Structure 1
Amino acid sequence: MSRFLVLAGAGLAAACTAATDPAPANGQTAAAADPGNLPFAVTPVADFDAPWAMTFLPDGRMLVTEKAGQLMLVSADGKSKQVVAGTLPVDSAGQGGLMDVVLHPDFATNRMVYYSFSEAGDGGKGVALARGVMSPDGDSPSLQNVQVIFRASPYVEGDGHYSGRIAFSPDGHLFFTNGERQKFTPAQDKQATLGKVLRLTMDGKPAPGNPLAAQGFNPAIWSYGHRNLLGLAFDASGNLWEQEMGPKGGDEVNLILPGRNYGYPIVSDGDHYDGRDIPDHDTRPEFEKYKVTWNPVISPGGLMVYSGAQFPQWQGDLFIGGLSSEALVRVDVDGANATKGDQWPMGARIREVEQGPDGSIYVLEDGDDGSAGRMLKLTPKT
């Protein structure tokens, strides 16, 4: 039996405005982390200004995105940070910003980096997917030949629920999440990419053979009926796992299957923030149901599959970075099924989680430089 670990917290960036989801209205408060009760040692590595995502280079250095729009190149020990030039301008209002960053599977030979960001355009704002080539070692760090290869459609007014997570499949496709932008109905719209998991080619085009194209859907769509999809990862068996923030209640972990409708906003185990009821999933069995749900919420963020040697008991497990509950949550997974496990308080909102080259676990706190914007390294206790 494998396990999910969820680093739980609030689903919003530290600088979110009133356009974002409010804090949980359930009386839930986070407890401060007690190092003596955690199953790992916690070591601060570096400090950032509202970090959003990170990825490791083959030599152990890291790329870290900051919400306001800076991409940082960080030494393996965290002591050196350099701004990577060449990223495109972002609209960082509300939940917007410079978001995910992922290396091409063949980065060692092509040095290609993919990243997502929010921008203003015709009709309002939306999330875009870009890629560029990392400058040679020894040069001032920069991304070269940067181009936008995909844009969500349509662009709409507002600053929430961009999503923008990136994952590469074992068969060489690029998966990309588009949130429903707090507009509800686009998640069920056949032509909109909002509220969807998308399957693209490495060049950002709709992948041939996507399951819904013949039914009149946008040809990029892989699954639909989602809300704010902030975690996406493949496990060793090729299963695609996704987590998303529900409304007032109803955070979810989903096993993403091709062509399936996950029901939002028609069903959810949460309710609208204005108090309107949403029918529960069980009332509409034609929709694909979550594997795990939370109410009160945990507000999940990024997602990672663990495969390292430092925590052999967690090999094959999923870790989700999150925010409002400020906790580390373990979820048991048995094949295609999952159930809740433990929950440990971390004392800070966690935006991102990644595996280090040595099998340690790295998390990014969701906050400002000098105030809970740290990168932390988790290692076994000795």
Structure 2
Amino acid sequence: MLRHIHFRKSLIATFCASLLLGLPFAASAASTTYKTEEGTLTVDEVAKGLQHPWALAFLPDKQGMLVTEKPGNLRIVSADGKLSQPLGGVPKVWAQGQGGLLDVVLSPDFKKDRMVYLTYAEDSGDGETGGTAAGRGRLSDDMTRLENFTRIFQQQPKLSVGNHFGSRIVFDRDGYLFIALGENNNRPTAQDLDKLQGKIVRLYPDGTIPQDNPFVGQKDVRPEIWSFGHRNQQGAALNPWTGTLWTNEHGPMGGDEINIIERAGNYGWPIATFGLDYSGKPISEAKGKVVEGMKTPFHVWEKSPGISGMAFYDSSTFKQWDHNLFIGALASKELIRLELKDDKVVHEERLLGDLNARIRDVRQGPDGYVYVLTDEDDGKLFKVGLAQ
């Protein structure tokens, strides 16, 4: 109980501090405007020259942001858009296929402990297969390295040959750590409770397992599991109004989903899916789009945008976006804006198509702007807002 109270107090303190984080990040000369349904969209290039960036996390006190690059680098983008050299102390990653250095988040108590959490692909030792891992290290005072980086989680077994690692990290209001995982492109494993493929796991920040997890103590079931039946989760965020965890995941050919995560929930893959096999034929294990006893997606795209990254808009900066949800799209190369009302999607708008770039991550900045990363050889960071 004392641990939970400490987590809650720390998280509240971090949220309060985030209100004081200062001015918008500076933009380079590359600035564009577009007409949209909610007004004139402003798109400012903050940084470029990133090698397939995957995720970003804002540092406090106008110190810029951490950005991961899939080949294995962690960099700082300063408030004026300058890129640091790669930080030291980052774990070796398995940069195979979709694998590499993936998500990054700060500890809820970062101002005190300076801990940075990463997910990444690691190989099994033979170079043939890999899986998702998570770890943490302390950002040095001079911000040049992660000190004493320690792995706190391993996806077991390691079954990927370069596909479907996931993964996103989210802390909830009580300080629990959730990791959203892919099923390594091994469909049946998403339903196997003795494996960590296609799951969301719930941990303490040090990687230990809470004893109130739903499957603790059950024979041949991994105690880390919080939910299962997921395919390839590449977006996750905590709903700021309800405190619930939401994730998004790629369907196969069609059937990209948003899910609201419940304790011990079975989200269906591959038994329930709105998508088809890439051959155009039905998924062999599928029994339908909706199957009794399995959670129905909150929202589905039967034609896949290739979704990745997710951010709820919870700022007074642009009131037109109040209670909106932003999601990146890799395949359709857009930023998707969803209007939410009474836990329903009531409208969708597609933005940033003119960039013609794969949008990998989406985050709301401390200044109320939306920041997006493009997953390209020359990846860019953009600041998106509305003209005022």
TM-score of the superposition, structure 1-length normalised?
A: 0.86
Q: Is the 8 A contact 1:125 1:158 kept in 2?
A: yes
Q: Is the 8 A contact 1:122 1:155 kept in 2?
A: no
Question: 1: CA distance between counterparts of 2:87 and 2:94?
Answer: 18
The 3 A distance-change label for structure 1 pair 257 and 348 is same
Q: What do residues 50-76 of structure 1 show as CA deviations (whole Å, max 9, x unaligned)?
A: 100000000231100001100001111
Identify the range of structure 1 (122-131 vs 273-282) with the bigger mean alpha-carbon deviation. 273-282
- Give aligned pairs, total: 344
In structure 1, the partner of 2:387 is 381
3-state SS in 1 of match to 2:247: strand
3-state SS in 1 of match to 2:56: strand
In structure 2, the partner of 1:149 is 152
Q: What do residues 88-143 of structure 1 show as CA deviations (whole Å, max 9, x unaligned)?
A: 1111110011000000000011100000111112572111101000001xx36110
The 3 A distance-change label for structure 1 pair 80 and 95 is closer
Q: 2:318 aligns with which of 311, 318, 331?
A: 311
Counterpart of 1:376, as a letter, is: F
> Gaps (5+ residues) in structure 1?
1-33
Shift of 1:158: 0.6
Question: 1: CA distance between counterparts of 2:327 and 2:287?
Answer: 24
Q: 1:298 aligns with which of 305, 313, 330?
A: 305
Shift of 1:319: 1.7
Counterpart of 1:377, as a letter, is: K
Q: Is the 8 A contact 2:273 2:290 kept in 1?
A: no
In structure 1, the partner of 2:137 is 132
The 3 A distance-change label for structure 1 pair 167 and 283 is closer
In structure 2, the partner of 1:46 is 47
Question: 2: CA distance between counterparts of 1:218 and 1:335?
Answer: 35
Shift of 1:273: 1.3
Question: 1: CA distance between counterparts of 2:138 and 2:317?
Answer: 32
Shift of 1:345: 4.4
Q: Is the 8 A contact 1:255 1:336 kept in 2?
A: no
Shift of 1:331: 2.2
In structure 2, the partner of 1:198 is 201
The 3 A distance-change label for structure 1 pair 184 and 365 is same
Counterpart of 1:270, as a letter, is: G
Q: Is the 8 A contact 1:292 1:339 kept in 2?
A: no
3-state SS in 2 of match to 1:160: coil
In structure 1, the partner of 2:234 is 230
The 3 A distance-change label for structure 1 pair 211 and 329 is same
Q: Is the 8 A contact 2:327 2:337 kept in 1?
A: no
Q: What do residues 344-375 of structure 1 show as CA deviations (whole Å, max 9, x unaligned)?
A: 34232100111122111110011012xxx110
Q: Is the 8 A contact 1:309 1:359 kept in 2?
A: yes
> Gaps (5+ residues) in structure 2?
1-31
In structure 2, the partner of 1:36 is 34
Question: 1: CA distance between counterparts of 2:208 and 2:343?
Answer: 29
Question: 1: CA distance between counterparts of 2:243 and 2:191?
Answer: 26
Counterpart of 2:92, as a letter, is: P
1:18-29 equivalences in 2 (<5 Å): none
Q: 1:111 aligns with which of 110, 114, 124?
A: 114
Is 1:324 equivalent to 2:335 in the alignment? no
Q: Is the 8 A contact 2:167 2:235 kept in 1?
A: no
In structure 2, the partner of 1:58 is 60
Question: 2: CA distance between counterparts of 1:310 and 1:157?
Answer: 42
Q: Is the 8 A contact 1:281 1:289 kept in 2?
A: no
Shift of 1:303: 1.3
Shift of 1:333: 2.3
Question: 1: CA distance between counterparts of 2:173 and 2:288?
Answer: 31
Is 1:358 equivalent to 2:367 in the alignment? yes
Q: Is the 8 A contact 1:154 1:193 kept in 2?
A: yes
Q: Is the 8 A contact 1:263 1:281 kept in 2?
A: no
Question: 2: CA distance between counterparts of 1:287 and 1:318?
Answer: 24
In structure 1, the partner of 2:70 is 67
3-state SS in 1 of match to 2:320: helix
Identify the range of structure 1 (119-128 vs 102-111) with the bigger mean alpha-carbon deviation. 119-128
In structure 1, the partner of 2:9 is none
